[in-house]
Structure 1
Amino acid sequence: MNGRKISLLAVFVGLSVVGAFLKIPAIIGSVALDAFPALLAAAFFGGGPGAIVAGAGHMISALLGGMPMGPLHIVVAVEMAILAFVFAYTWKKKWLASSLFVFGNAILAPIPFIFIYDWAFYVALVPSLLIGSIMNTAVALLLIPRIFHVASKGVVKE
């Protein structure tokens, strides 16, 4: 990975910080617009870089939200990294990638918390995660074609 690509990944992590301040009302305060930069990075650079931005972006968002679930945010960061990785590898079929991300983030990712907390926690969390996932995906889908030419100057994955 060259210096230019590392710098752009740092910019995407910075965008995650900005997105972390844009909270979506939820029972847990860490649902935010922090995932769309990871989707951008996944589409531009591939699964690994997208996963790094997703994991780092979630942890920063959780820190800004006061870490309401404590160390369990590590589980969520790993889930976000996996979802960004899957998004990158299904990106050629944009609607499949988008659907998998929304379904994975809103429905599948909170399943471990049924066992840690309970069903009520899961049921309370899913609506805000669904809204947040749709909003993050929509922003990414709007921005990817518009900024592709900027990121494609020798650093975007072919």
Structure 2
Amino acid sequence: MIRNKNIALFTAFVSLAVAGSFIKIPSPIGSVAFDSMPALAAAALMSPWSGLAVAGFGHLLTAALAGFPLGPLHVVVAVQMGFLAFFYGVLYGKNAKTAATIMFVLGNGILAPLCFWPVLGKAAVLGLIPSLLAAAILNALTALVIIPRIKPVFRQSAMRINHEKKS
């Protein structure tokens, strides 16, 4: 029963990431969008590992819908986003919400694109940073607003499942 619930929740969060991919942030490439907010929510509400998976799948699906503008580099971006969501979930779970948000924004908006400097060049990376930073801020702030409002539903659902197991 719990495994089925986790699969359903994971699928719902990935679906929200895909839906968020249609809310674009203007950028030189077409894959900057609201796709990481569901991953942050999954990391905080389910587990950091769930957030990692939702971020990775969510980014790859977003990139696919945009036509993979960075080609195979999107796999690297998906891994970066996965680890950022994972660490967001770890920090959020320790009630370090501000640190989690700052880490995600700096990691996704500045540090992650800097890894592509040798491949894409200075101009491309510096051209991407403003839109990635804006997207990271908007995704993180939206997650901070939504997570506390969804958390009671997750608690009630977990209590109902635990009660059903005892019966």
> Fold-level match, TM-score > 0.5?
yes
Return the offset for 1:84: 0.5
Match of 1:111 among 110, 114, 118: 114
Match of 2:131 in 1: 128
Return the offset for 1:28: 1.1
Q: Helix, strand or coil: the match of 2:72?
A: helix
Cα distance between partner residues in 2 of 1:45 and 1:108: 26
Match of 2:35 in 1: 34
Aligned-partner residue type, residue 131 of structure 2:
S
Confirm whether residue 52 of structure 1 aligns to residue 53 of structure 2: yes
Q: After superposition, what is the alpha-carbon deviation per residue over 1:41-78, rounded to whole angstroms, capped at 9, x for unaligned?
A: 00011211100000000001101111101111000000
The list of structure 1 runs, each at least 4 consecutive aligned residues, that deviate by more than 6 angstroms after superposition, is: none
Match of 1:85 in 2: 86
Cα distance between partner residues in 1 of 2:139 and 2:105: 9
Confirm whether residue 61 of structure 1 aligns to residue 62 of structure 2: yes
Cα distance between partner residues in 1 of 2:140 and 2:153: 20
Q: TM-score, normalised by structure 1?
A: 0.95
The structure with more helix, counted as a fraction of residues: 2
Match of 1:154 among 154, 158, 163: 158
Aligned-partner residue type, residue 48 of structure 2:
G
Structure 2: segments with no counterpart, 5+ residues: 160-167
Cα distance between partner residues in 2 of 1:77 and 1:56: 7
Q: TM-score, normalised by structure 2?
A: 0.90
Return the offset for 1:151: 2.2
Cα distance between partner residues in 1 of 2:18 and 2:90: 25
Percent identity over paired residues: 46
Cα distance between partner residues in 2 of 1:47 and 1:119: 33
Q: After superposition, what is the alpha-carbon deviation per residue over 1:119-149, rounded to whole angstroms, capped at 9, x for unaligned?
A: 1011100000010000100110110011111
Match of 1:100 in 2: 103
Structure with higher Rg: it is 2
Cα distance between partner residues in 2 of 1:10 and 1:54: 12
Cα distance between partner residues in 2 of 1:27 and 1:67: 13
Cα distance between partner residues in 2 of 1:43 and 1:9: 13
For structure 1, which segment, 71-80 or 1-10, has the greater mean C-alpha deviation from structure 2 after superposition? 1-10
Match of 1:140 among 139, 143, 153: 143
Aligned-partner residue type, residue 15 of structure 1:
L
Match of 2:73 in 1: 72
Cα distance between partner residues in 2 of 1:123 and 1:150: 41
